[in-house]
Structure 1
Amino acid sequence: MFPEFKEDDLKEKEIAIYEKIKSNKKRIQELLDNKIYTFASFLGPYQTIQTELSDLSTEISHVNSVKNSEESQTIYANILPKLTEYYTDLAQNEDIFQALLKIESEDTTLNLEQSKVLKNEIRDFRLAGVGLEATKKSRLKEINIRLSDLSNQFSQNVLNATNAFEMILDETEVDGMPESEKRSARTEDGRYKFTLHYPSYISYMTYGPSRERRAELYKASVTKAPENGKILEEILKLRKEEAELLGFASFAQLSLASKVAESPDQVLEFLTKLNVKAKPVALKEYQRLKDFASEQGVSELQAYDLTYFSEMLKKKLYHYEEDKYRPYLEKESVVQGTFQFLSSLLGIQFKQADTRVWHPSVLCYDIIIDKQTRARLYLDLEARKEKKGGAWMHNWKPHFITENNEKILPIAFVVGNFPVAREDVPSLLKPSDVVTLFHELGHALHHLLSQVGEAFVSGVNGVEWDAVEFPSQFLENFAYEPKVLDLFAKHYQTGEKIPREFIETMVEAKNFQSAMAVVRQLEFAIFDMRIHLDAPDEEGVQKVLDEVRKETAVFTTPSYNKFQNSFSHIFAGGYAAGYYSYKWAELLSANAFYKFVDEGIFSESLAEKFRKCILEKGGSESAMKLFRDFYGKDPDIEALLRLNGIAA
């Protein structure tokens, strides 16, 4: 029913990709030569072979992300330009484009999903430069190949710099830190190692008693991969040239051509409106933090002090300490309780599958609905040195029906970097880790619960980029609900349920400094949009960032901070001129979430409506159309402000 995932045959996978590219080209020519241009005879088979190639490339990119090695780096770097060249040639193929136009004008048998596939394909062909003269096509191809290589370099530089740094401390420099944090950092010789990998980095920035060491760690983090300054300069220049070749004034406009938002001005207006509401509240939050730090003897609060004193202030105001929750949030208990919650919320069951995995800590589950196996989910949640930082969902296979009427079931990976289980203690999570898990599972369920029959618009495929975060942000909000926490928050040693006052405190503290967090996200989003309206050089990028910080930031960022050199979301990911999507999608998720809160978290009718209108429909219709089908009207900003604890 499901294929086995293998991680030790990278060379074979590389060869398979080259062979698949070759066979795809041959098959496409056969379809064109057949000259029967209907969905069933042309676009259906075309969709299938493209999906098969995508599945193969996902296998290599996944291994490179979770089991990174010199071999995986080399092979991934080898296939990128080949794939980019293939997709660029494909997207500029006039014969395919004309076949699509013929289907559009003559095939009257298309259903809703097939119409969406066709519409998206025609749009994407136009955005890829079909119809351009030969020299412009050739240049566009060169740009795409170069951009693919640069993005990979950018990402690898960040990972290499992250792996290269370590800070070894003695007992005096970790005195007072939570025992669980010290245990995770302890080395064989009894000292303590902290790195730039997020769990380790945030541990010392939050609890580390040495201000000097926090400053050292912070500076190492925000100055890593300086060589990326020139890389991002070239990326911006090439993106602008690409946009102009395609008839757009800027890359920002090109990016939005396939999103829900209509223009850069509309996006910036939305972000500015949020900033107007959030910044006054953020300034008050920051002043309170400064006053508190002053009481502790620090009159000049620095960037490397923020997380540390914020944790202390939160503890004072709410008696809230993330670390005291860890014993109640053992990873396996959280996972099983989360599955129980999802069963109650959406009517789905999880059954552990006995299959091959790429690391002993990885678990695999089949998803069952109405006694039918519908999908497969892999969970890889613990941090490892050879794994890229952060957390993400990676979709391997989509749900679809082939032209031979074969049903392909979807498969996805959820990857995190949570604390590593040891012999003496299991992996114990923080509340923020649970939120991250819920978020990524939201992405996974959006992909895995799809009932769409066409691969190109099934699951997360075909969903507008500024709406793809909607289900994930929706689900993460439930991580703070007492009824949900009751399902899995129990002491890993005694089995005692988490005290009610712990939950109440966590809920009260949820929006602590939320306005500061909002303006930080607005800084990233506005910066991203503005540098893609133009294409400044390395120095110009810094100037834009400085200007945006004047508008949004509530504290002064050190001049040495070059966070843009590791801003992988926009320089090595899919968020270029699209980082605003987090807030745009949060607007949808906030409205949907409060509908559940106001009508009942475990309302069966509402949950079924959400599953059928949103999760099962994937990208088969416009995200705003699907949202209105579920919600009954357009979203409003008041719900977003309410979610963040900001008065409307």
Structure 2
Amino acid sequence: MIDKVPPQPAPEWKHTPEQITAGIASVISESKTLNDRIAAVSEPRFDNVIKTLVDEEQGRYGDVRQLLFYHSVSADKDIRESSAKAEEVYREYSIETSMREDMFKVVDTVFKQDPDLDAESKRLLEKMHLDYVRNGLALPKETQEELKQLQKKLSSLELAYKTNLSENTEFILFSKEELIGLPEDNLSQLEQVDGKYKMTFKYPDVLPVGKYVQNADTRRRAFVGDQNKATENSELLSEAVKLRAQIATILGYKTHAAYVLEERMAKSPENVFAFLNDLRSKLTDAGRAEIARLLELKKQDQKALGLLEDSTFNVWDYRFYDRLLLETAYDVDDQKISEYFPMQQTVEKMLGIFEELFSLRFVEITGADRSVWHEDCKQFAVWEVKEGDEISFVGWLYFDLHPRTGKYGHAANFNLNPGYTDKEGKRVYPVTALVCNFSKPTATKPSLLKHNEVVTLFHELGHGIHNLVSVTTYARFHGTRVARDFVEAPSQMLEFWCWQPAQLKRLSGHYLSPTKPIDDALVERIVKSKHVNGSLFALRQLHFGLFDLTLHTAPAGEVDVAKLWNEMRQDIALLQQADEVTHGYASFGHLMGGYDAGYYGYLWSEVFAADIFYSKFRADAMNREAGMAYRDAILRPGGSREETESLKLLLGREPTNEAFLAELGITV
């Protein structure tokens, strides 16, 4: 029991729309005053330019991120709209200030002095200087102004795309007969309208329809409807791709992908294409074999239902027959498994694993002391137990795990306030939040997590832990603020825990009898099923990655986006779609949310994740010594040094792809 009071209070979540508007205006005003003062420094040095600028700006990070976070989570539409407008205003200001020539001049002066600095401060100076160069500050004045206007236009497109998704309320009405096969728990959560069931495109509604409903036409309508939601985003993405290409050309890069990848571990589009195409060549035959197996199952199913044989395996068939294969050939029943993973209990046990591995303690805040943005949220104070049982505060952690109108629709971690050392030398502690969309409890059952949802929750919590245990001097390098093609590696590495028999049992407990863990035989079947249709899953990721990279290497961004999306799915993912033309890129939030020319990173970073797990944890997933070494080498430094340096420090060698290929069943 920890009865200490955290040295830093949790954020208060009581903003009105007017306070959000006024708050962002105040931040911008203070920032502009500071920048004007910095730009006028007559003798620029690191301490009176870079350090002063960073000390004051990062002190406002938490305020800004909180005000903009409401857009993703508030149940109040007026607050969401005010937050979205604040984000638009702040984005415009950020573009303005990032392209101030007078600021570049003083930073450039300090950079050319090559001051004697500690490693993290030197990295900060180099990154700040490079930011200005990559923003075009070394170009003629008229070109800078053109770039500024293009960046503002691009920012508006990205924000509109995001808003269209979060505010989307489209749905399809199905009769009960059209939903035969849908488990009662899922059916009971659907709102009824005029005697029919309303399926929205939120995860807890649409995904079970694809997995369980027998009627192929229902599955088709659900899949196509979900793919074609927020159609207004199609044009926004096309326009953004052209703008990105135009900006890259002005900055002297061949393509937008070349511009983006300059700062990533991959370094160039050519390297990424080679990586993805090599994987594709190794996985395609295995994918075709998996399709053939699923197609045979489909034929058997159609015969049993008295239907005409359909020898085409469509994209809306995949989830249904993948699930059916797991149930029939592997005796893995998602519904039965979920009974052993009631959400609240599973979260508590996940936290227990992280406590043991990383010497942490999570204390839930309840009652009048709780400070949250919605009643569904849980709040934790996080502590570290050091040698001699010394307790030190780590930061604040939030969980917001159920869907609601207007809320961010996927699963993500939000780093609400990065940790850093302030100008008085005091530690400012991080605040991080997990935002997911798992089914709500019913009148008779708690929220139950399917195994893939357990994996998702563990993954996102991995990001949260990264943000919590990172300790850097500057907020810029804190936690998940690493190279985009490395950021997923720590969380992907932790997914392995969800496939270890001992850890699965530790996480489990039947919702009717919490002390009853999942039985060994079922655990064994789950573990054996890990790579069932694994090639098809990887090919689906390759479709996304190659689509993204092809978009962002197209000359002038001129590409038929719909044609590319649909043809690539069939060619790469091997899934047909009859004559349906879908527009899944209109809800592919990564492309307008920071992963442009970067989606490949999910597969790229899996190389490092597998290497770390196989090298350090495969023999004993709860090895405390390995956990602490991993925490200190990979998580603690965040982006304050090169990612390859952190990997080599932990592994004692250069990373390799041997474990990654072994996981995919590829022999080299």
Match of 2:623 in 1: 603
Match of 2:175 in 1: 169
Match of 1:327 in 2: 339
**Count of residues in Structure 1 that have an aligned counterpart in Structure 2:** 644
> In the alignment, residue 284 of structure 2 is paired with which amino acid?
K
Match of 1:466 in 2: 485
- Choose the corresponding residue for 2:244, options 227, 239, 245: 239
Is 1:359 equivalent to 2:374 in the alignment? Answer: yes
Is 1:289 equivalent to 2:310 in the alignment? Answer: no
- Choose the corresponding residue for 1:25, options 18, 32, 49: 32
- Choose the corresponding residue for 1:565, options 586, 590, 593: 586
> In the alignment, residue 175 of structure 2 is paired with which amino acid?
L
- Conservation of the 8 A alpha-carbon contact between 1:84 and 1:144: no
Match of 2:329 in 1: 317
Deviation of 1:84 after TM superposition, in Å, equals 2.6
Corresponding residue SS for 1:194? strand
Cα distance between partner residues in 2 of 1:644 and 1:358: 41
User: Taking structure 1 as reference, are residues 423 and 189 closer, same or farther at Cα in structure 2, changes over 3 Å only?
Assistant: farther
Is 1:379 equivalent to 2:386 in the alignment? Answer: no
Give TM-score scaled by structure 1 length: 0.95
Match of 1:185 in 2: 190
Match of 2:306 in 1: none
Please show how residues 432-447 of structure 1 align to structure 2 within 5 Å: 432-447=452-467
- Conservation of the 8 A alpha-carbon contact between 1:77 and 1:149: no
User: Taking structure 1 as reference, are residues 186 and 612 closer, same or farther at Cα in structure 2, changes over 3 Å only?
Assistant: same
- Conservation of the 8 A alpha-carbon contact between 2:611 and 2:659: yes
Deviation of 1:157 after TM superposition, in Å, equals 2.5
Cα distance between partner residues in 1 of 2:175 and 2:9: 47
Cα distance between partner residues in 2 of 1:504 and 1:345: 24
Deviation of 1:597 after TM superposition, in Å, equals 3.7
Q: Deviations over 1:155-199 (max 9, x none)?
A: 2223444x12132432x3334433322333364998643221112
Deviation of 1:536 after TM superposition, in Å, equals 6.7
Identify unmatched segments of 5+ residues in structure 2: 1-7, 303-308, 386-390
Cα distance between partner residues in 1 of 2:130 and 2:395: 30
Q: Deviations over 1:555-601 (max 9, x none)?
A: 2234412212222111x200000110111111111111112344421
Please show how residues 94-243 of structure 1 align to structure 2 within 5 Å: 94-106=101-113, 108-161=115-168, 163-170=169-176, 172-185=177-190, 187=192, 192-243=197-248
Deviation of 1:294 after TM superposition, in Å, equals 1.0
Cα distance between partner residues in 1 of 2:249 and 2:75: 36
> In the alignment, residue 281 of structure 2 is paired with which amino acid?
V
Q: Deviations over 1:329-362 (max 9, x none)?
A: 0111101100111112222111112421112221
- Conservation of the 8 A alpha-carbon contact between 1:457 and 1:620: yes
> In the alignment, residue 117 of structure 1 is paired with which amino acid?
L
Deviation of 1:293 after TM superposition, in Å, equals 0.6
Deviation of 1:314 after TM superposition, in Å, equals 1.4
Deviation of 1:523 after TM superposition, in Å, equals 0.8
Is 1:479 equivalent to 2:498 in the alignment? Answer: yes
Match of 1:389 in 2: 409
Deviation of 1:238 after TM superposition, in Å, equals 0.8
Cα distance between partner residues in 2 of 1:439 and 1:146: 34
User: Taking structure 1 as reference, are residues 383 and 436 closer, same or farther at Cα in structure 2, changes over 3 Å only?
Assistant: same
- Conservation of the 8 A alpha-carbon contact between 2:20 and 2:83: no
Deviation of 1:506 after TM superposition, in Å, equals 0.8
Deviates more, 1:473-482 or 1:260-269: 473-482
Cα distance between partner residues in 1 of 2:443 and 2:549: 47
Match of 1:248 in 2: 253
Q: Deviations over 1:476-516 (max 9, x none)?
A: 22112122122230111122111111111111111110100
Cα distance between partner residues in 2 of 1:551 and 1:191: 37
Deviates more, 1:38-47 or 1:546-555: 546-555
Cα distance between partner residues in 2 of 1:600 and 1:43: 45
Cα distance between partner residues in 1 of 2:566 and 2:583: 11
Deviation of 1:224 after TM superposition, in Å, equals 1.8
Cα distance between partner residues in 2 of 1:186 and 1:210: 20
User: Taking structure 1 as reference, are residues 545 and 217 closer, same or farther at Cα in structure 2, changes over 3 Å only?
Assistant: closer
Identify unmatched segments of 5+ residues in structure 1: none
Cα distance between partner residues in 2 of 1:210 and 1:557: 16
Deviation of 1:464 after TM superposition, in Å, equals 0.8
Deviates more, 1:186-195 or 1:444-453: 186-195
- Choose the corresponding residue for 1:489, options 508, 524, 531: 508
Match of 2:54 in 1: 47
- Choose the corresponding residue for 2:648, options 603, 628, 633: 628
Is 1:264 equivalent to 2:269 in the alignment? Answer: yes
Deviation of 1:72 after TM superposition, in Å, equals 3.5
Match of 1:80 in 2: 87
Deviates more, 1:98-107 or 1:358-367: 98-107
- Conservation of the 8 A alpha-carbon contact between 1:206 and 1:307: yes
Deviation of 1:109 after TM superposition, in Å, equals 4.1
Corresponding residue SS for 1:533? coil
> In the alignment, residue 268 of structure 1 is paired with which amino acid?
F
Deviates more, 1:410-419 or 1:452-461: 452-461
Corresponding residue SS for 2:173? strand
RMSD of aligned C-alpha atoms? 2.1
Corresponding residue SS for 2:299? helix
Cα distance between partner residues in 2 of 1:222 and 1:598: 38
Cα distance between partner residues in 2 of 1:8 and 1:91: 28
Cα distance between partner residues in 2 of 1:432 and 1:485: 12
- Conservation of the 8 A alpha-carbon contact between 2:381 and 2:397: yes
Match of 2:22 in 1: 15
> In the alignment, residue 408 of structure 2 is paired with which amino acid?
K
> In the alignment, residue 485 of structure 1 is paired with which amino acid?
L
Q: Deviations over 1:512-566 (max 9, x none)?
A: 1010010110011011111111257786223433553464222223441221222
User: Taking structure 1 as reference, are residues 445 and 198 closer, same or farther at Cα in structure 2, changes over 3 Å only?
Assistant: same
Q: Deviations over 1:29-59 (max 9, x none)?
A: 2233343533332212211333244433322
Corresponding residue SS for 2:204? helix
Match of 1:518 in 2: 538
Deviates more, 1:634-643 or 1:538-547: 538-547
Deviation of 1:451 after TM superposition, in Å, equals 1.3
Q: What is the aligned-residue identity percentage? A: 26
- Conservation of the 8 A alpha-carbon contact between 1:466 and 1:585: yes
- Conservation of the 8 A alpha-carbon contact between 1:399 and 1:410: yes
Give TM-score scaled by structure 2 length: 0.92
Corresponding residue SS for 1:486? helix
Deviation of 1:288 after TM superposition, in Å, equals 0.5
Cα distance between partner residues in 1 of 2:507 and 2:171: 36
- Conservation of the 8 A alpha-carbon contact between 2:167 and 2:406: no
- Conservation of the 8 A alpha-carbon contact between 2:430 and 2:468: yes
Cα distance between partner residues in 1 of 2:24 and 2:59: 10
